[in-house]
Amino acid sequence: MNRPGSRLIFGVFVFILALTPAFGAQWQAKVGADTKNHARQALAFLPNEIWIHEGDSISWIFETDEIHTVTFLTEGQVRPPFPVGCPGFAVGSAMFDGSTCITTPPMVTGQTFTVMFPTVGNFKLTCLVHEGMTGVVHVLANSAKLPHEQAFYDKLGAQQAQDLLASPDLSGAHHHNNSANAIAVGIGKIVANGGGHDTVSVVRFIEPELVIHAGGTVEWTNFDPITPRTITFGTEPENPIPPSGNVTVDGDGALHATISSASDNVHSGFIMSAPQERIGLPQAPLGSTRFRITFTAPGVYPYICALHDDLGMKGQIIVLP
């Protein structure tokens, strides 16, 4: 996937909010973590809960090539799509007092965003790319004693990243498929704490290579509770959300396509689990969690996840006569 970073914002207007020089303390936190091979992604603010004084600033340092945003919405605001922003985006720095939404564009390794908090309050932090990634900033009056210093947050963030990335139950072995020719399209889990939610995702096809015979069907299922994937053969689409026009729907709701040549272009669109239910809101739809392809001719068919191929999420299907 062509990562947008802070330069390409899908044609959306970018504006810069000037930050009045802060005279309070300067704090630091990190956004995201991953393993050396990028296979495991900690979709988390590290740490995701910080206590500061009014007038203090926090700088979030982005640590991975998986895109994230630092976003503060207003109370009750409907969550906007990440290519749209508030609408619009703040670049470099901003000030948040709860009255106006601020958000970065999608950002990656090495980029930094600083927010100054001029007023007392408890402000929810979220990533517009990953809905299972939240946190909170507690802004106390200057007369209040803060519970922690920067060294505590550095240690806590590092420990949270380590715990997420070392999670022992993220192997593909316990994920049971309904088909003999089956591939897990990544796995993951959501972890809750007092500050919000963190997610750890394996951005890999589990057992990405299969050998089948012509006429056989391969089935991909997303076992990640929050993060979408795609199964993409041929040319990567500019818009990864919808499936290609040659995809149909089976009677059980699974998406299905047929490939006759290694030069065919087939794209699943977003394959993801259904949203979590929320009391007081309409029931969530089932969603497209499963994708099937029937291969009619022998050959070697490479494929990718259009969202995570730059992190190494690739595979191939070998079709014998």
Closest CA to 224 of 40, 1, 3: 40
Looking at residue 167, its pLDDT comes to 82
Looking at the DSSP bridge assignments, the partners of residue 124 are: 136
By DSSP bridging, strand 217-223 and strand 182-193 are: parallel
Checking if the pLDDT of 16 tops 50, the result is no
Q: Where in the chain is the domain with CATH 2.60.40.420?
A: 26-165, 179-320
Lowest mean pLDDT among 86-100, 104-118, 128-142, 172-186: 172-186
122: phi then psi, degrees, rounded to nearest 5: -115, 115
**Which amino acid, one-letter code, is at 131?**
E
Give the model's confidence band at 177: pLDDT under 50 very low, under 70 low, under 90 confident, else very high. Answer: low
CATH 2.40.10.220 fits 179-320, yes or no: no
Lowest mean pLDDT among 2-6, 29-33, 199-203: 2-6
Going by the DSSP 8-state scheme, the letter that residue 147 receives in this structure is S
Tell whether omega for the bond before 47 is within 30 degrees of 0, i.e. cis.
yes
Lowest mean pLDDT among 44-53, 72-81, 114-123, 165-174: 165-174
Going by the DSSP 8-state scheme, the letter that residue 172 receives in this structure is G
CA geometry: angle at 137 spanning 131 and 139, to 5°? Answer: 155
Residue 67, CA atoms < 13 Å, CB-side half-sphere = 21
214: phi then psi, degrees, rounded to nearest 5: -55, 135
pTM summary value = 0.86
Looking at residue 175, its pLDDT comes to 55
For residue 237, count CB atoms less than 10 angstroms from its CB and return exposed for 0-12, middle for 13-18, buried for 19 or more.
Answer: middle
Contacts of 28 (CB under 8 A, 6+ apart): 58, 59, 60, 61, 150, 153, 154
Name residue, tokens 């050959």. Answer: 299
3-class secondary-structure state, position 198: strand
Looking at residue 171, its pLDDT comes to 61
Which pLDDT tens digit goes with each residue over 145-173?
999 999 999 999 999 999 999 987 776 54
Which pLDDT tens digit goes with each residue over 198-235?
999 999 999 899 999 999 999 999 999 989 999 999 99
H/E stretch holding 158: helix 150-165
Checking if the pLDDT of 15 tops 60, the result is no
Looking at residue 283, its pLDDT comes to 87
Contact call for residues 32 and 67 (beta carbons, < 8 A): no
Going by the DSSP 8-state scheme, the letter that residue 156 receives in this structure is H
CATH 2.60.120.260 fits 26-165, yes or no: no
Contacts of 247 (CB under 8 A, 6+ apart): 255, 256, 257, 266, 267, 268, 269
